[in-house]
Amino acid sequence: MRTASKRLAMGLAAMSLIGSALTVAAGGATSVPGLTSTEVDLGSIVTQSGYAKADFGAYIYGVDAYLHYVNTVLKGVNGRTLVMKDPLDDQSNPTQDSTDATTLVTADHVFAIVGVSTAFFNGSNYLSHQGNSTPVFGYATSNVWKGPKNFFADYGSVIDYASSLPDFAYVASQLKATKVAVLAYDWPSSDAECQPAVNSLLKTYKIPVVYSNMNEPLLLANFSSDVTHMVNDHVNMIISCMQGSDDVALTKLLGEAGVKDIPQIWLDGYDRTLLARDANYMNDVYLLIQHAPFEAYEQYPKSYPGIGLYLNQMTSYFKAAYPSTYTSYLPDEYDDVALMGWESAICSPRDSAPPARIRRSPQSSPTSTRSPRTTAVPRAREWRDPPTGPSRTRRMDLRRASRSSRQPGTRTPPRRRSSWPSTRVPTCGLASR
């Protein structure tokens, strides 16, 4: 469920995955769990198997790549090597997720859990309510991250689902959409992301939603009935809070019904594997993302060094970890979930004694892949052109899939007033490019 429905689509730091500043007591062994005089032991909980693997599995690659970068290029943190001691797989099972959380703390005694990427973070109950000070870094798909002081979610620990509404309205208004359809899963994070569109597009922006289905099954969805309704209602734009593969399936059925190239907004789909396979079904598709797009580095490498470092180090890690088959892993460099794993690894535990094992850093990291000179806004997708670009500020990145190139092209929207929430949430102090 990247971004909320699949979201599953994702830094770099001048120090380390738990880096930038692990200021532990100088030398010698310590009483801090997972911390010795030579290494820092870490754990992760990532859905690496089961039905949700495609949505969340690539996260671990980003985490491991950053650890590799810190250990090989930066030579560790204060003389210590960062070790992924136990990368656990919750197998797409909420109960296993809780078991994994307990294992990492009570059996593995890790210093921190760096890399939580799952549709259902049931382990949060244990990690937040048993008084342990184990720092937890990961990818927020629900608001369980916003309370515990030892939780640090990538792109912000608070999810303001309504903050997507101006994006939806802006695209609809630019495309002159007059009959919008909204689809989401019968799953909290998916439904919550799209529900504001159903409730408020007409009331706030005078854009009618003529059809909505917020009860699509997460598994084995069948869109035949939806297509019939959308054809009968003459829908001329679709907002989807589902995963990219289901969006493609819906588009295929629409094509069979004679509806082609209908404008759509997807909250998932910004990865090279999907684009290479299904670009023919992504014409007039707009993707919402939360990081500087990979194409920004290709066009303006000096303005987005964080993206360049991320891509280079992902390649370096894959070559080291899978020397004979690394080329098969390279497409995962362009998975926004892998990028979020890299960003998650940047957060900075600093202090040596529990319970305050970490504190938020007020400084920006030159290795982050975020947009330049901004701070993280809950659920906001931000895009900034480089200083030489035609417009200095965008609050949204609209990536339009190009049928001819099979690569996501750039569609630059006119400037607009944004209505993002003014409250800004620190995400480990990382908000620079």
CATH number at residue 358: 3.40.50.2300
pLDDT value of position 347 = 57
Residue 58 lies in a domain: yes
pLDDT along the chain (433 residues), means of 10: 34 35 47 90 93 83 93 91 94 94 94 90 88 84 86 83 91 96 91 94 96 92 96 97 93 94 90 84 87 84 90 93 89 78 63 38 43 30 33 35 35 30 29 26
Greatest CA separation found in the chain? 72
Q: How far apart are CA 291 and CA 10, in angstroms?
A: 8
Q: How far apart are CA 168 and CA 326, in angstroms?
A: 38
Q: How far is CA 169 from CA 166, 280, 371, 419, in A?
A: 5, 26, 23, 11
> 166-190 burial, b for 16+ CB within 10 Å, e for fewer?
bbbbbbbeeeebebbbbbbbebebb
Residue 196 lies in a domain: yes
**Block residue for tokens 């800004």:** 424
Residue 2 lies in a domain: no
Residue 296 lies in a domain: yes
Q: How far apart are CA 265 and CA 218, in angstroms?
A: 19
Residue 26 lies in a domain: no
Q: pLDDT tens digits for 348-363?
A: 443 333 334 444 333 3
**Block residue for tokens 């504001």:** 196
pLDDT value of position 29 = 53
Q: How far is CA 309 from CA 65, 154, 400, in A?
A: 11, 18, 25
Number of folded domains that form the chain: 1
Q: At residue 320, what are phi and psi to the nearest 5 degrees?
A: -75, -40
Mean pLDDT (the chain, rounded): 75
Q: pLDDT tens digits for 145-184?
A: 988 889 988 777 888 888 889 999 999 999 999 999 999 9
With the CA atoms of 21, 22, 26 and 28 taken in that order, what torsion angle do they form, in degrees rounded to the nearest 10? -160
pLDDT value of position 39 = 93
Residue 347 lies in a domain: yes
Range of the domain at 245: 39-410
Residue 356 lies in a domain: yes
Closest of 207, 244, 192 to residue 9, by C-alpha:
244
